[in-house]
Structure 1
Amino acid sequence: MNTNMSITKTIETVGKSYSENEQELRVELAAAYRLIHYYGMTDTIHSHISLRIQEEPAIFLINPYGMLFDEICASNLVRVDVNGNKIDATDAEVNQAGFTIHSAIHLGCPDAHAIVHTHTISGMAVAAMEEGLLPLNQASMEFYNRVAYHDYEGISLDLDERERIVASLGAKKSLIMRNHGLLTVGRTVAEAFYYMYNLNRACEIQVKALGAGNKPIIPPPDLCEHTARQFEEPTFQNQEVAKVWAANRCLLDRLDPSYRE
């Protein structure tokens, strides 16, 4: 992702003016909100997706609190700094818990330009399981020993939790927030979305498999590790992320291109 905001060309969007680069990033982020809605991973107005659009001083985009994900478009995303201050004059509110979680990672993880946080039923179910995510299927093995865990501390309103969230995530791309939900990060919106879709799918598989009441088959550790390494091979992974994102952007453009506005 190019987060350089030095481009001077601007684009007018619903009475607002952004650099060309920021407008492109806004469209990417709005697309992720619409796709999370399309794939049934929303929780009414709760949960969040954010994107860091400037490094120094750090500024990121997040959704207006109170708006459903299928209403999000490029122009109504809110610019905030790491202290929760809105950059632009707007009546839109920002969810305090969302700010705490997302600002923590934007501050503490340089490569985490994009963050997706969800409260899906299956994700919350696995987040409540002591054993965490199990390698029950090829989809789950992508995350074998590659998902982090953060213990529940209540609603994330206390800023001092930020350091602990960053410590829990470490260098991983996926975080299961115990008794809460799922979180993924990426260098791009496409990458963060890719991990969230796959992580939630792995959780859905686990809930269904364990709910069947039969003893599951868990492959041996060396095979699970081999499969995980296949997933993270750079060429394979980059191609997968790019193709999945391109296909989903085409889907959105067919269904409702208003996310671009």
Structure 2
Amino acid sequence: MSPADARLKPVPTAMTEAEWRQRVNLAAAYRLVALFGWDDLVDTHISARVPGPEHHFLINPYGLLFEEITASSLVKVDLDGNQLTESEYSINPAGFTIHSAIHEVRDDAGCVLHLHTPDGTAVASAMEGLLPLNQTAQLVTGDLAYHDYEGIALDHDERPRIQRDLGTKNHLLLRNHGTLTVGRSVASAFERMYHLERACTMQVRTRMLGPTAYPVEDAVVAKNEKLVSDLDAMERRSTRLVWPPLLRKLDRVDPSYKT
């Protein structure tokens, strides 16, 4: 039995087993973001599509710290922003704009993760963007898109431009704003964000050493980018190798995300 299945409470009535499992994994992602120091008070957001034919997705209640998120506290919404589960909290309107844009057109978007970390935002705000300076960055750069800043994302008219700029990519730098990843599962969205954030931090530190970086041959960059282009293999890696130990780590810290 995986840590995500080691329940602290039974599946609530009127909720499918698949939805509860998705809630537990999404709540774990919120807790891990806080544990890694990537959170930003009550801002930024992670969403996960509810399994089923509807384009419903789960997102955080606006007003809880990420370290407080639990499976049962997550809010289910539709693509029009209607809250489908009772909550004393609303949802972040900017979060809805960004996440609904992606869930609307990407059937493979099982999870969308968005952050405002210092290093991620620094690289997103730099003219050069993310460069393939090192091995970690090369796991990202072949699958990376950019979206220009239009102000706090309260205008739903921005959604078509987010959809256009992201396209089929799974990593997005929101210019002057932050980072975003997409995954078929919570696990793969989280692992992609780990690599993206780490690559941004490595670039910030490399640039602090001076104006030059040791060159990498284009053929080597292409080799590494191709290595991670097998999306099925990367999904298996995330769900089977990376996510289970992360859940075990979280369980040692605080398993209450499962409630």
How would you bin the TM-score normalised by the shorter chain?
over 0.9
1:202-213 matches, cutoff 5 A: 202-213=199-210
Distance 1:172 1:89, change over 3 A: same
Q: 1:90 Cα deviation (Å)?
A: 2.2
Cα distance change on mapping 1:127 and 1:189 into 2, 3 Å: same
Q: Deviations over 1:144-184 (max 9, x none)?
A: 23200000000100001001001100111000000000000
1:40 to 34, 37, 41: 37
Residue identity opposite 1:134 in structure 2:
L
SS of 2:15's partner is: strand
Q: Does 1:128 align with 2:121?
A: no
- In structure 2, relative to structure 1, the CA distance for the partners of 1:234 and 1:128 (3 Å cut) is closer
78-87 vs 216-225, which moves further: 216-225
Query: Which position in structure 2 is the counterpart of 1:199?
Result: 196
Aligned equivalents of 2:56, 2:250: Cα separation in 1: 27
Matches within 5 A, 1:3-18: 11-13=10-12, 17-18=14-15
- When the two chains are superposed, the root-mean-square deviation of aligned CA atoms in Å is 1.6
The answer to whether the aligner puts 1:171 opposite 2:168 as a matched pair is yes
Give the alignment of 1:77-116 within 5 angstroms: 77-116=74-113
Report the count of equivalent residues: 250
Map 1:175-254 → 2, pairs under 5 A: 175-233=172-230, 236-241=233-238, 242-254=240-252
Task: Name stretches of at least 5 consecutive residues in structure 1 with no aligned partner.
Answer: 1-9
Q: Secondary structure at the match of 1:148?
A: strand
Structure 2 residue matching 1:24: 3-state secondary structure? helix
Q: Cα offset for 1:120?
A: 0.5
Q: Name the CA distance, whole Å, in 1 between partners of 2:92 and 2:172.
A: 20
Q: Identity percentage over the alignment?
A: 46
Match of 1:67 in 2: 64
TM-score, normalising length from structure 1? 0.91
**Is 1:255 the equivalent of 2:247?**
no
Following superposition, the deviation at residue 104 of structure 1 comes to: 0.2
**Which residue of structure 2 lines up, in the alignment, with residue 156 of structure 1?**
153
Q: What is the match of residue 57 of structure 1?
A: 54
Note if contact 1:144-1:224 (Cα within 8 Å) is conserved in structure 2. Answer: no
Structure with higher strand content: 1
Which SS does the other structure have where 2:145 is aligned? strand
The one-letter amino acid of 1:116's match is: L
| TM-score, length basis structure 2 | 0.92
Counterpart Cα distance in 1 of 2:52 and 2:103 = 9
Letter in 2 for 1:123: G
Q: What is the distance in 2 between the residues matched to 1:48 and 1:153? A: 18
User: Structure 1 residues 186 and 234, CA, compared in 2 at 3 Å: closer, same or farther?
Assistant: closer
Q: Which segment is superposed worse, 239-248 or 227-236?
A: 227-236
**CA offsets per residue over residues 43-100 of structure 1, 9 Å max, x none?**
1110000011045431110000011001001010001111111012322110000000
CA distance change for structure 1 residues 228 and 76 in 2, over 3 Å: closer, same or farther?
same
For residues 158 and 231 of structure 2, the distance between their equivalents in structure 1, rounded to whole angstroms, comes to: 33
